[in-house]
Amino acid sequence: MARPAGRIHDSDYTAGVAARTAALYDRVKRVVPAVEWPVFAPDIDAILELKRRRNAVVLAHNYQTPEIFHTIADIVGDSLALAREAAKVDADVIVLCGVHFMAETAKLMNPSRKVLIPDLEAGCSLASSITGADVRALKARYPGVPVVTYVNTSAEVKAESDVCCTSGNAVDVVESLGADRVIFLPDEYLAKNVAAQTDVEIISWQGKCEVHERFAPADIEALRQAHPGIVVLAHPECDRPVVEAADFAGSTAAMSKYVSERRPAEVALITECSMSDNVAVANPDVEFVRPCNLCPHMKQITLPKIRRALETMTFEVDVPADVAGRARLAVERMVEIGRSR
């Protein structure tokens, strides 16, 4: 019988569990307190066995907590990396540790495989800001103008688009179309940041990420006053003045690469809170200052829920066939542009 999600017993942390998970704890000990490990380890141990039994792989976004990201995930990364790698997966089951649109994208790239999301409530403020009907209305208003849609959208919206993009390749995607102007959906702030880097006219929507819209230039100024010499990296879902106040702006993958290659003595990542913990694990010599805005949707995904998903094979994500074909084409075009650049 499946164990209720979230129920922890002291007896679960046996000597066997401790031994089997010791190397995993060594990996995350800088960001996971020792007192918390006996709570996490039994679920981690069970998930690893369930993955073997189910022939399952776990995909985890960079905003997942370290005990997920660094212990049970087989593939990690930003939206572009997960979309690319999802197409290569050789497994019967994919568990997507992220939000619902990411699980839909994994299903688009793997129509014959079972895709699970551990919590159906893991949504996204950007994805919920626009519908397929909204896109059709924009296309009627701007006939012939190509539509570039951020991957943080539903499959229904992707299906109405010419090509998808991520924060890491948005400028490349926009310029690949060879158009004088494009409709860019749905992130208003990302659209502003793309417009600042291209001569293509950008027609935008008014969606915003509820995590990144809370950051302000004053936050960066306060960081610089409290930590002279700190390097500030901002996600392009932040408003333009925040990006301009930072030392570097880029996707979560670009931020991680910046830290690993340049090794700043002290750094702040202006993005979702868990990102700093995950990058810190791989960069023990870098001091991270953590301005912390949590994504409530990403935090719906927990180890007990992942365990339950594999025990009960829920919750399965599917995309209607009439939507999936068109949405898949938009995602594949994005991936192909990424390969060619």
Helix (H), strand (E), coil (C) string for 101-130: HHHHHHHHHCCCCEEECCCCCCCCCCHHHC
pLDDT reported for residue 340: 54
What lies within 8 Å, CB to CB, of 308 at 6+ separation is 2, 3, 4, 5, 118, 314
What lies within 8 Å, CB to CB, of 14 at 6+ separation is none
- CATH number for the domain spanning 185: value is 3.40.50.10800
Domains identified in the chain, total number:
3
Structural domain contains residue 331 = no
* Residue 238 and residue 212 in contact, taking contact as beta carbons nearer than 8 Å: yes
Structural domain contains residue 326 = no
Domain ranges, residue 307: 10-124+298-312
Statement to judge: residues 120 and 131 lie in one domain: no
Structural domain contains residue 318 = no
Selection from 41, 39, 43 nearest residue 22 by Cα:
41
Q: Considering the entire predicted model, what is its pTM?
A: 0.93
At 195-218, the pLDDT tens digits run: 999 999 999 999 999 999 999 999
Statement to judge: residues 94 and 139 lie in one domain: no
Statement to judge: residues 265 and 193 lie in one domain: no
pLDDT (tens, 9 = 90+) of the chain, 341 residues, equals 344 444 445 579 999 999 999 999 999 999 999 999 999 999 999 999 999 999 999 999 999 999 999 999 999 998 778 878 888 888 999 999 999 999 999 999 999 999 999 999 999 999 999 999 999 999 999 999 999 999 999 999 999 999 999 999 999 999 999 999 999 999 999 999 999 999 999 999 999 999 999 999 999 999 999 999 999 999 999 999 999 999 999 999 999 999 999 999 999 999 999 999 999 999 999 999 998 799 999 999 999 999 999 999 999 999 999 999 999 999 999 988 866 55
* Residue 277 and residue 263 in contact, taking contact as beta carbons nearer than 8 Å: no
pLDDT reported for residue 339: 64
At 105-120, the pLDDT tens digits run: 999 999 999 999 999 9
Task: Count CB atoms within 10 A of the CB of residue 90.
Answer: 8
Statement to judge: residues 90 and 136 lie in one domain: no
* Residue 180 and residue 200 in contact, taking contact as beta carbons nearer than 8 Å: yes
CA atoms within 13 A on the CB side of 30: 15
